[in-house]
Structure 1
Amino acid sequence: MRIIGHHTCSSKGNISDIEIQGPFFSEHDEEDSNAHKFLGSGYYFWDNNIGMAHSHGQNNYKRKYYIFEADLNLVEEALLDLAGNRIDMLHFQEIMKKLNEIDPNTESWTLAHFIEFLKSKNIFSYKAIRAIDTSITPRNLLKFVPERKNYINLSPIFIVCLLDNTKDIILSFNHIRTFPPNE
């Protein structure tokens, strides 16, 4: 699956250097609530959602940030797709269930905790994870039929976390915006 990924970072540093060295790695730390990452440690992107890239920059970088755009090649065999692949979702639920049976304390774990645990045991073979964030009220809802409450969200928020910063996944990485624009 080829997607456009938007990566937000602090506006510290030379844009050309960041294009060469980027994206930036985000470290997950269970002990530090300021370092909790949704999908564990990795390189984070918004799946074709520049609006969320802006929101993230405004909320996390005191409105001084860069946005980069990447062409990402998410190979199905190396992607844990918790947003669009029902088989992956069921498989991950089965793993969680088995861990809960072994250790009931895992029932309180977050998604990131499960992912980090599996990575630490070298039983996580994926190079990328894709998930959907449903915490933000959708803006583009469209009913399927008028007489029911069922609807489709035409603006879902997809998060992508890459575990590797490799050229076979990140095909391009280019600066597209600086905020504030006058700096």
Structure 2
Amino acid sequence: MARKLLYQTLKDKGNSHIVRRDGPYPCNWDNSWLGEGYYYWDTFINNAHWWGVNRYGAKYFICEAYCNYDTENCLDLVGTTEHLLQFSSAVDLMKSKRLVNNKTTVSRILNYMKHTIGVLKHQAVRAYGINTISQNNPDYNEFNYKLVFEIGKQQYLDYRPAIQICIFDKFGLGLNNYNLIYPHEYNEDYMA
């Protein structure tokens, strides 16, 4: 089990005291990528800033927290090939039942795994949204962490990938030390 640093980006509504007291907050969007839960950016704070700038403009909070990460409790669709095979098997099963079409989302597959066939018993899901920060985004250069392997070729290494973790319950994965860290004036530990 590893201690993992996470970041949650929220709209700054001038309610820093409430965020500190009541956080973390669930994502309640109908189109949330990984289903219902509490969304965090994994390890790289630049992704939390990118989301804040693109979603909320100049008025956003970033809260950090830690979790106890292991692949027994988190379905890891980033680096655990066995979990990718399990996800792929669910897609194949849904295809065999004609439940997949060109509008099928990752969230729908995860929901099927969790509620219909009962194989998603994890506390969280971890995924890398490829092209989350697209080159067509006006803030691309500020948040570009890609290096090519060969000059003139398209293949690249994203060395600060936009990995998200969706924790299904508020304090799943032993989430702890939830703290408002940005803007710095709200961070109790910040020294100007």
- TM class by shorter chain equals 0.7 to 0.9
1:24: which partner in 2? 25
Distance (Å, rounded) in 1 between the aligned partners of 2:22 and 2:117: 26
Deviations 1:34-89 (CA, angstroms, capped at 9, x unpaired): xx111111101111121111111122223211100111112321110000101100
Secondary structure of 1:8 counterpart: strand
Match among 160, 165, 185 for residue 160 of structure 1: 165
Deviation at 1:106, TM superposition (A): 1.6
Corresponding letter in the other structure for 2:40 = F
**TM-score where L is the length of structure 2:** 0.78
Q: Is 1:111 aligned to 2:85, yes or no? A: no
2:128: which partner in 1? 132
2:73: which partner in 1? 78
Secondary structure of 1:44 counterpart: strand
Distance (Å, rounded) in 1 between the aligned partners of 2:172 and 2:125: 17
1:15: which partner in 2? 16
**Residue segments in structure 1 that go unaligned for 5+ positions in a row:** 30-35
Q: Is 1:141 aligned to 2:141, yes or no? A: no
Match among 93, 100, 105 for residue 98 of structure 1: 93
**TM-score where L is the length of structure 1:** 0.81
Q: Percent identity?
A: 27
Distance (Å, rounded) in 1 between the aligned partners of 2:83 and 2:107: 16
Aligned residues: 173
Higher strand share: 1
Distance (Å, rounded) in 1 between the aligned partners of 2:180 and 2:148: 34
Deviations 1:109-144 (CA, angstroms, capped at 9, x unpaired): 11011112333337121111111122035633253x
Secondary structure of 2:160 counterpart: coil
Check 1:158–1:9 CA distance in 2 against 1; reply closer, same or farther (3 A cut).
same
Distance (Å, rounded) in 2 between the aligned partners of 1:74 and 1:13: 32
**Equivalent pair of 1:71/1:172 in contact (CA under 8 Å):** yes
**Equivalent pair of 1:5/1:46 in contact (CA under 8 Å):** yes
1:32: which partner in 2? none
